[in-house]
Structure 1
């Protein structure tokens, strides 16, 4: 049963079409895995196991030709949907005590895509309160833990999604990414997470109007992330910022001659030596594949991170600020701190942040005019503690005190530069067994090259979550 829970979506769909595997078998395996791992990992909030089994039986009929309908692209695949977007008839907690278990009247655009493609939503994945932290714990649901080391965080805000994938309690998962919330947990849990260019995937209003905010796929393999992204993307009537559909189809399996720029610190981040060593491994692998890899020095300073924080506090932080003193007391310390900081941002502060963003985009554009891709670490340390509170605790990396919210991740600058596609892929493991990953950044809207490089990289490095690869502590039966 555990082996079935770790099959990739691509493998499962092939077996379904060949009628060598039934959706009922796979869904049962994923549910069994969820029940085995959940007391420790705590990746899931609401579960819908009975409905999932019913949906699996209907999917089985379609694959067996016993239905009037043909199978859809994700028919019979278990998808953990992040507990921040909506599904009609289900509650959305957003990880907060302030939310109520009220059935939502409508389904979020990204979740519509999942359901229309035949994905089986067997569970919702845990988030920090209002998705406003790079760790995943809340007063509402408790602490979500990293399956590779239960003392460490799975990252956030799509931490439950990444933990579920690593623990085998989901085959695919949705994520949202406003400062790295897909890529951070993907890195911490050894899975694959993709931030598409702005407008490629639909986003709920009003955050579809925020260029920092994206929705995207999470999976255990690059091929699955590509499969899922091609389902999620395209124009949507509810999101006027969405772009025309563009299927990602890398036309070359080789990356020989590809020009790749690399930076270990983006110009200003302190980085743990284990992360630098992991990046060196990635550089060597790309070089062995025939790519031309060169180190570059970005002229970015810490003001780039300050600008992203100003933007996030001004738009995102104020959006979660309660109206009553009683509700403020119900917030987690990190959510309360974030909301308070947002209320202190002035219009002049916000304009200064936009000015910094414009300068950062110009300097990065100059670099990318000379290269096909850019790589850097996803996080500056393998992970922080599972119960770390960025609202009340300090954080040091390589002897330097950093911002506790985003100072340990290298993701938010690419939300600022929102048209760049970015894929996080695992490279190696730290001494504490937590995975370490890199970000593969493309030129604006050039998604095919990002996936071309990631597919080649993964093929050379080897897949995780297979019999002869490193395994999380928890998934052993």
Structure 2
């Protein structure tokens, strides 16, 4: 098996091969570390690489394969994983993308990584994020800009940008990321990977986010939908410290894709969720994917109008107070002077200072209720909803405006985060959503199809995405940078 073949082996196949003694976890980790050393100087996807620790864990994993029956090994035994540098990793530097935390070493694991590790996963390193995750592109004062494997002059989005770049470049089969308004799905779409945001509460956020935050979640970026399902099976389930975590699901997510199909499903398709322009190439590719569900996969697809509040205004109004609170709690409270170099963070804190408590109540409760009602109307008649993941493909690294100022010849209201307008609404309504590659632009840039499901229908989202992925096969395409 060549390095490329080994490093792009999906986690499901890798885990099975390790347990069958067909592949050595030491060989896998060594190959990935060699690849990281070769490719990451161009990508800048890692904050920290724990090579010695990973090799030692791989040696232990290899010994256990020979000493322990395969059935007793964890679901991810010997499988390398990267973790976004917002998630605490006990004993391993966690910076939150900030120069003020460049030497911070937590003594506790975030729950997502704790569950991955308990299932046998091996930590390769920590991936880049904008400062405190409060940026729409992955650029921080600590690490600088992360580059897209498909075109180094292009963005990886944010805030799980290093995670997406690592998976796309074959620097690890699973990346653990986080998502509030699209921070898993936008980078995954930019880089041509799968990115999964589970239903609110499906994956607890203890030690990774505010347990009463009701929007932020953590989850995987992977090569395949099956890998995302496997990760969900490992990390899902209640936690006593997270009061909003859901009871254990009766669904075995690692097996829910067996014999999956979409025949007979009623699927809604919205080209823009009711707001803003979409790049013509993106729209054409996503529409083609949506029609594939009907013409070739047996579903009934209808284009629908979705009534939602202005997502950009809501994005700004909801997240601005959160940014200001973060600034005061994590930085000002310690006597630190944050640079506020990130455009989004700086703009949010400025706006928050002009908002009243009544303003925020109306946004967080009343406007959010309108978002929930908009999706409820769709899912009252349809099983799933398909949309573009982003209105554009990966754009050149931001200039002064922070993002594209026009899309399809039309000006956008807030270039700095306009490209999150399709991922923000389902997050705030608590719906499961997943992005899967659905084609490439003329420039060779990946485009993502977003599959959104009713509340708690994580298995339906995974099945539909897996059926499309298996039919279309876009996940097999690899960036030239990563091909040796």
TM-score by length of 1: 0.94
Counterpart among 90, 93, 96 of residue 94 in structure 1? 96
- 1:285–1:317 CA distance, 2 compared to 1 (3 A): farther
- 1:371–1:271 CA distance, 2 compared to 1 (3 A): same
Counterpart among 416, 425, 431 of residue 428 in structure 2? 416
Q: Which runs of 5+ in 1 are unaligned?
A: none
Tell me the CA shift for residue 386 of structure 1: 2.7
Tell me the CA shift for residue 67 of structure 1: 9.2
Matched, 1:277 2:284: yes
State the Cα deviation string for residues 324-361 of structure 1 (Å, max 9, x = none): 89714364343222323233332121122121221221
Residue in structure 1 matched with residue 264 of structure 2 by the alignment? 257
Matched, 1:117 2:128: no
Counterpart among 445, 458, 462 of residue 434 in structure 1? 445
Q: Which runs of 5+ in 2 are unaligned?
A: none
Look up the SS of the partner of 2:412 in the other structure.
strand
Question: Higher mean Cα deviation, 57-66 or 366-375?
Answer: 57-66
Matched, 1:444 2:455: yes
State the Cα deviation string for residues 250-305 of structure 1 (Å, max 9, x = none): 56522111110010111012111011011122122111101100000122342x43
Residue in structure 2 matched with residue 21 of structure 1 by the alignment? 23
Distance 1:289 1:18 in 2: 34
Distance 1:457 1:333 in 2: 37
Residue in structure 1 matched with residue 144 of structure 2 by the alignment? 142
CA contact (8 A) 1:187 1:379 kept: yes
Look up the SS of the partner of 1:140 in the other structure.
coil
Question: Higher mean Cα deviation, 157-166 or 245-254?
Answer: 245-254
State the Cα deviation string for residues 292-327 of structure 1 (Å, max 9, x = none): 00000122342x431232111122443134428971
Matched, 1:211 2:214: yes
Matched, 1:298 2:284: no
Counterpart among 7, 10, 18 of residue 8 in structure 1? 10
- 1:317–1:339 CA distance, 2 compared to 1 (3 A): same
Look up the SS of the partner of 1:106 in the other structure.
coil
The residue correspondences of 1:34-53 to structure 2 (distance < 5 A) are 34-53=36-55
Tell me the CA shift for residue 395 of structure 1: 2.2
Distance 1:104 1:339 in 2: 27
Tell me the CA shift for residue 70 of structure 1: 3.9
Distance 2:343 2:136 in 1: 14
CA contact (8 A) 1:2 1:33 kept: no
CA contact (8 A) 1:261 1:296 kept: yes
Residue in structure 2 matched with residue 228 of structure 1 by the alignment? 231
- 1:258–1:69 CA distance, 2 compared to 1 (3 A): closer
Tell me the CA shift for residue 207 of structure 1: 1.7
Tell me the CA shift for residue 102 of structure 1: 2.5
Matched, 1:456 2:463: no
CA contact (8 A) 1:194 1:225 kept: yes
CA contact (8 A) 1:252 1:452 kept: no
Matched, 1:341 2:351: yes
Counterpart among 379, 383, 389 of residue 372 in structure 1? 383
Look up the SS of the partner of 1:290 in the other structure.
coil
Query: Aligned residue pairs: how many?
Result: 470
State the Cα deviation string for residues 409-432 of structure 1 (Å, max 9, x = none): 2100111111x1101111011122
CA contact (8 A) 1:211 1:415 kept: no
Distance 1:136 1:388 in 2: 14
Distance 1:454 1:87 in 2: 31
- 1:459–1:25 CA distance, 2 compared to 1 (3 A): same
Distance 1:20 1:328 in 2: 50
Matched, 1:170 2:172: yes
Distance 2:433 2:238 in 1: 20
- 1:369–1:65 CA distance, 2 compared to 1 (3 A): same
The residue correspondences of 1:311-330 to structure 2 (distance < 5 A) are 311-321=318-328, 322-323=331-332, 327-329=337-339
Distance 2:94 2:454 in 1: 35
Residue in structure 2 matched with residue 186 of structure 1 by the alignment? 188
- 1:394–1:294 CA distance, 2 compared to 1 (3 A): closer
- 1:389–1:23 CA distance, 2 compared to 1 (3 A): farther
State the Cα deviation string for residues 123-178 of structure 1 (Å, max 9, x = none): 10101111112211111111101101111111110000000000111110111101
Look up the SS of the partner of 2:176 in the other structure.
strand
Look up the SS of the partner of 1:294 in the other structure.
strand
TM-score by length of 2: 0.93
Residue in structure 2 matched with residue 474 of structure 1 by the alignment? 481
Question: Higher mean Cα deviation, 394-403 or 14-23?
Answer: 394-403
Tell me the CA shift for residue 66 of structure 1: 6.2
Distance 1:222 1:361 in 2: 26
CA contact (8 A) 1:153 1:387 kept: yes
Look up the SS of the partner of 1:98 in the other structure.
helix
Counterpart among 406, 418, 423 of residue 396 in structure 1? 406
Question: Higher mean Cα deviation, 67-76 or 204-213?
Answer: 67-76
Question: Higher mean Cα deviation, 265-274 or 380-389?
Answer: 380-389
Look up the SS of the partner of 2:81 in the other structure.
strand
Distance 2:381 2:46 in 1: 44
